Amino acid sequence: MANHKSSLKRIRSNETKRTVNKYQHKTTRNAIKKLRELTDKNEAETLYTSVVSMLDKLAKKNVIHANKAANLKSGLSKHIAAL
């Protein structure tokens, strides 16, 4: 167990950040799955913009790597183009 006040605070804040990051990452993954299942191009395009925004936010906060976000966006755009 930590002995310093700052260490205890760091433990608390890290747990909070981990929980928030986990929630946002899982929400994004679910949105990506939902987008891949869509067959209507108009619906897919509207959902795509929100998914791209989610991916960019995760990459900005280093929850996922920037290249992974780029690869996911590229794959999703190809999927939409093929509809």
List the chain pLDDT tens, one digit each, 83 residues.
788 999 999 999 999 999 999 999 999 999 999 999 999 999 999 999 999 999 999 999 999 999 999 999 999 999 999 98
Q: In 10 A of CB 28, how many CB atoms?
A: 21
> How many of the other CB atoms lie within 10 Å of CB of 45?
14
Structure confidence at residue 45 (pLDDT)? 94
Q: What is the pLDDT of residue 1?
A: 76
- Predicted local distance difference test score (pLDDT) of residue 44: 95
* pTM listed for this prediction: 0.85
pLDDT at 2: 82
| Separation in Å, CA 53 to CA 8, 12, 28, 70, 73 | 34, 28, 10, 12, 10
CA 60 to chain centre: 10
- Structural contact between residues 15 and 23, judged by C-beta atoms closer than 8 angstroms: no
